């Protein structure tokens, strides 16, 4: 495949933008010219792509002239200001912000789950929230085979989900506290180091956070099931990268733990890592996925599959994925690969 596309990345200096550039290179997306974009900063900044340092430019309307595809990872304000302008100037846009996800004219796509919805696109395709992506990857195969009637999810979300400044805060705060020094929170609403915060994004009148609302509403849109009962609690934990989730489902059909594992292990992009018994009697060889294990990898990992004995047909499972890769950058590049 010859390199023929001009590809822009808005937010190229951020946590997701940098990962996008890595994923484009790793997957050999046919990039003829990479256009890294960000805000105006005093110092000249570069990103590394295919062995070269490319200067980061300031995002403006004219940046999108002649661009074939733009991956937006510049946050809500950048998307509001520039995403449709990029479309008007002829670029396909794949947007990581939450700005347009619920618009009926914007498909919300996870390639393994609902690629057929992409046909409706009008130049702009939205990437779902990182937690939505990994939960849908785990639940959709079971939804199809067993008829999922209710989902209850609790998340354990890494700080990288809040961007590059959040990782710095966790590192510096942990170091300061370990040395009996204070470190006031700047990125998070309270101390994140040695703590857990059930508070991701703003609260609504019903007491849910916006992150919880996103998982519920986005999943319903992706599954084309506006009434699907879903209950979510989202928690930020002092983990550098990789989101984990406890997922509880109720199903219409009876099934076994082995069958659930079998359905999931046959699903593209999902890997079952579930060895609850010690292998050869060795306690250290019980296996389940962790954020450290999933970090840097492309798959969504499932472990701890077991029956929920409190309902007629129900299962619990543990789901882990790299929020910067499948939760953001990889999913966006997979959408681009489908289109080009």
Ligand X SMILES: NC(=O)c1ccc[n+]([C@@H]2O[C@H](COP(=O)([O-])OP(=O)(O)OC[C@H]3O[C@@H](n4cnc5c(N)ncnc54)[C@H](OP(=O)(O)O)[C@@H]3O)[C@@H](O)[C@H]2O)c1
Catalytic residues: 130, 243
User: Least CB distance from residue 323 to ligand X, whole Å?
Assistant: 4
User: Least CB distance from residue 305 to ligand X, whole Å?
Assistant: 25
User: Least CB distance from residue 209 to ligand X, whole Å?
Assistant: 14
Nearer to ligand X, 272 or 332 (CB): 332
Q: Can you give the binding site for ligand X, defined by CB under 6 A? A: 10-17, 38-39, 41, 59, 73-78, 96-97, 130, 160-161, 163-165, 323-324, 327-328
User: Least CB distance from residue 162 to ligand X, whole Å?
Assistant: 7
Task: Report how far residue 54's alpha carbon sits from residue 263's, in angstroms, rounded to the nearest whole number.
Answer: 44
Cα 16 from chain centroid (whole Å): 10
| H-helix or E-strand spanning residue 82 | helix 75-88
Nearer to ligand X, 78 or 108 (CB): 78
Nearer to ligand X, 59 or 219 (CB): 59
User: Least CB distance from residue 309 to ligand X, whole Å?
Assistant: 34
Q: Kind of pairing, strands 148-157 and 5-10?
A: unpaired
| Cβ atoms < 10 Å from Cβ of 299 | 21
The residue with its CB nearest to ligand X is: 14
Nearer to ligand X, 169 or 274 (CB): 169
**If phi over 0 gives left and psi between -120 and 50 gives alpha, with beta otherwise, what is residue 94?**
beta
Task: Give the E-state strand segments of 263-332 in sequence order.
Answer: 270-272, 300-307, 314-321
Transcribe 109-178 into DSSP letters. --HHHHGGGGGG-SSEEEPPPHHHHHHHHHHHHHHHHH-EEEEEEEEEE-GGGG-HHHHHHHHHHHHHHH
Nearer to ligand X, 14 or 141 (CB): 14
Cα 113 from chain centroid (whole Å): 14
Nearer to ligand X, 14 or 289 (CB): 14
User: Least CB distance from residue 175 to ligand X, whole Å?
Assistant: 20
**If phi over 0 gives left and psi between -120 and 50 gives alpha, with beta otherwise, what is residue 156?**
beta
Task: Report how far residue 241's alpha carbon sits from residue 190's, in angstroms, rounded to the nearest whole number.
Answer: 19
Cβ within 8 Å of residue 232, ≥6 positions away:
152, 153, 154, 155, 208, 211, 212, 215, 216
């Amino acid at each position: 495949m010859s390199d023929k596309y001009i590809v822009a990345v808005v937010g190229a200096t951020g946590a997701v933008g940098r990962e996008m550039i890595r994923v484009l290179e790793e997957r050999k997306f046919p990039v003829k010219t990479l256009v890294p974009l960000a805000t105006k900063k005093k110092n000249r900044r570069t990103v590394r792509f295919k062995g070269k340092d490319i200067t980061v430019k300031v995002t403006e309307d004219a940046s999108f002239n002649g661009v074939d595809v733009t991956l937006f990872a510049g946050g809500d304000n950048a998307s509001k200001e520039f995403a449709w302008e990029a479309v008007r100037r002829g670029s396909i846009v794949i947007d990581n912000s939450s700005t347009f996800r619920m618009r009926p004219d914007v498909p919300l796509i996870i390639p393994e789950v609902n690629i057929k919805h992409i046909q409706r696109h009008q130049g702009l395709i939205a990437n779902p929230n990182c937690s939505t992506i990994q939960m849908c990857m785990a639940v959709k195969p079971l939804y199809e085979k067993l008829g999922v009637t209710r989902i209850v999810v609790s998340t354990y979300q890494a700080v990288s989900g809040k961007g590059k400044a959040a990782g710095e805060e966790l590192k510096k705060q942990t170091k300061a506290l370990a040395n009996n020094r204070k470190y006031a929170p700047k990125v998070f609403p309270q101390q994140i180091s040695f703590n857990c915060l059930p508070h991701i994004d703003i609260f609504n009148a019903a007491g849910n956070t916006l992150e919880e609302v996103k998982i519920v509403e986005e999943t319903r849109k992706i599954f084309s099931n506006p009434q699907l009962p879903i209950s979510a609690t989202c928690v930020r934990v002092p983990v550098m990268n990789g989101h984990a989730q406890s997922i509880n489902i109720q199903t219409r059909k009876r099934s076994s733990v082995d069958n659930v594992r079998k359905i999931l292990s046959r699903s593209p992009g999902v890997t079952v890592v579930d060895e609850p018994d010690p292998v050869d009697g060795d306690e250290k060889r019980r296996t389940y996925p962790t954020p450290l294990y999933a970090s840097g990898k492309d798959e969504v990992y499932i472990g701890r599959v077991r029956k929920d004995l409190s309902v007629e047909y129900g299962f619990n499972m543990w789901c882990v994925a790299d929020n910067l890769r499948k939760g953001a950058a990889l999913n966006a590049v997979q959408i681009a690969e489908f289109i080009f």
